[in-house]
Structure 1
Amino acid sequence: MSVIRQMTYRPGGHRAASVETMTFSRLRELNDGGTQRADFHVLAIVDAGYGSVTVDFLHHPLKKRSAVWVPPGAVHRWDDIADVAGHLMLFVPTAPVTNATRELVASPDPAAHWSIPDADWLFVDTARNHLLLETSAPPGQFPTELPEILLSALIARLRPPHAEARFTHPVFRLFRSSVEAHFRNHHDAGYYARALGYAPRTLSRAVQQATGRTAKAYIVDRIVLEAKRLLAHDRLTAARCAATLGFPDASNFSAFFHKATGMRPGAWQATVAIE
């Protein structure tokens, strides 16, 4: 269960905020050590200390002047934050106001963790502190769009690694959005080629250029990631995963998962590091 989700965007709160902030100290009070899966973005900036976080089954060290980005739907766990100081920005996908930051936030695979270069730190710290100040203002005192504007400035200053590379190919951007919307029901690359109006070869070439993978491999990877999330966090059975992800039955899903990962769903669920 997501302790972050429990404390933010609650009905009846003092305001309907699209951006909220909290400290790692507050996160420690709420964290039960379990997995979390929120329907909003979590962007964390570490000022000091060392720790670790696991995002979609990959372990990342936390250290001074580093950042963590957890997108909506990602299964994550704060493994070790006893010595970490800093802030977390919690925001809905529609919060950023610039074209560039909206495009970045829309990406289904942002960089999960990176170090903030020394040359960028003053700009990042200033943008973060201004956002913290505005989100602490009494409701109704200032224009409501100020937190969204300042969040966009912070995201732009953070410059997540390889962000520009994700947006260079317009065909891939369309494919990526279509896969996010339909991967639970459509597993073949041909469907996306037809739906987008491109020849299969054109689509696959665009995906290859953007990701280094074929269109089919990209779709398979997205389905496997969602299956792992469902198995690890929601603790679904293979039969429930099959129904959720558009497979005809548990046997078909199990064969698919085994081919992609080398393990049967139940075996993977029993040994997964995030529990």
Structure 2
Amino acid sequence: MQPLQTQLADFSASGRAVVAADKGCLPSTLRAATGRGTVEKSMVIVDIGQLPAPIRQLRYAPAPGADLGVEVLGFEQLRRMDPDRRRTRPQRPDFHVLALVRSGEGRHEADFADHHLRPGSVVWIRPGTVHRWTDIDHVDGPLILFEPGFLPAPGPAAHAGADPFASSTWRLDGRARELALLATDHLAAEYAAALTEPAASPPLLAHTDLPAARCAERVGFTDAANFTAFFQRQTGLPPSRWRSTHSGR
């Protein structure tokens, strides 16, 4: 048999390559009518799988009044926000996504590698990573979205977040899993408090003698240090300095 002389290569929408060659080189034939008569060509169809879907670019866009650099939600909320199931298509966020599976099983794909999700699975999608939530219909747990630069640097968390070769999915067991869930639940409570009553803290500081830690409790913060960080991010001053400037006493 003579070497194959390829005359035509095309890709169909189904992701199959159609290759036509000189007559006699392949067992099947393709007859194409031309203006000058009939030309007989051989053809082979090679299945190369589905063509890649377009990649959707995701930008960090917090809800109005929630520009804290971090957002906490859950898989259930993600499903409610996405009735068209766009989460199952390739996407590339410009922010971090950190998820922890509390219960249920599913699948996730990062950089075109498939991962099985089950209780204790951790998913960390770094900015620029192509991923998709292949199947999270029965998965429950928290998702933390945060901007690049949100993690304090230098530090181990910031170092891990900046590592382009770090694993995107791993699993926690035993005590490590329990502590991770406690930490995410705590963060979710702090986030909810910051959204529901962020405006209550300045009047408490200005018009009462309550210590900053007590003010933090009144507006829903369980950790005074987190309250101080949040207050300073919103006002530009730590609570003690803001009080001395605005209390008028």
TM-score (norm: length of structure 1): 0.48
Q: Is 1:14 aligned to 2:65, yes or no?
A: yes
Considering fraction of residues, name the structure with more strand: 2
Tell me the amino acid that sits aligned with residue 39 of structure 1. D
The higher relative CO (CA closer than 8 Å, separation ≥ 6) is in: 1
Contact kept in structure 1, 2:73 and 2:144, CA below 8 Å? yes
* Native 8 Å contact 2:103 2:119 kept in 1: yes
Q: Which residue of 1 aligns with 2:169?
A: 113
Paired residues of 1:134 and 1:146 also in contact (CA < 8 A) = no
Secondary structure of residue in 2 paired with 1:64? coil
CA distance in 1, matches of 2:191, 2:110: 26
Of residues 60, 63, 78, the one that matches 2:133 is 78
Q: How does 1:154-233 map to 2 (within 5 A)?
A: none
Q: Distance in 2 between matches of 1:127 and 1:69?
A: 16
**Residue from 13, 35, 60 that aligns with 2:90:** 35
In the aligned structure 2, how far is the partner of 1:146 from the partner of 1:84?
31
Letter in 2 for 1:118: G
Q: Which residue of 2 aligns with 1:127?
A: 183
Larger Rg: 2
| TM superposition shift of 1:144 | 6.6
- Correspondence list, 1:47-126, <5 A: 47-97=102-152, 99-126=155-182
State the alpha-carbon separation in 1 of the partners of residues 110 and 183 from structure 2: 25
**CA deviation map 1:122-174 (0-9, x unaligned):** 21111111100011113354637359xxxxxxxxxxxxxxxxxxxxxxxxxxx
CA shift, 1:22, in A, is 1.1
- CA-based RMSD: 2.3
SS at the partner of 2:99? strand
3-state DSSP class of the match of 1:59? strand
- TM (norm. structure 2) is 0.53
CA distance in 2, matches of 1:65, 1:90: 18
Whole-angstrom CA distance in 2 between matches of 1:9 and 1:26: 16
Name the CA distance, whole Å, in 2 between partners of 1:135 and 1:13. Answer: 14
Q: Deviations over 1:12-32 (max 9, x none)?
A: 711312110111012123142
Q: Which amino acid counterpart does residue 15 of structure 1 have in structure 2?
A: A
**In the alignment, is the contact (CA less than 8 A) between 2:102 and 2:181 conserved in 1?**
no
**1:158 aligned residue:** none
Distance 1:146 1:117 in 2: 32
Unmatched runs of 5 consecutive residues or more in structure 2: 1-54, 202-215, 217-226, 232-249
> Is contact 1:24-1:87 (8 Å) kept?
yes
Q: Is contact 1:69–1:110 with CA below 8 Å preserved after alignment?
A: no
Percent of aligned positions that are identical: 33
1:25 maps to 2:76 = yes
| Mapped partners of 1:75, 1:144: distance in 2 | 36
Runs of 4+ residues deviating >6 angstroms: none
Larger helix percent: 1
Distance 1:70 1:52 in 2: 14
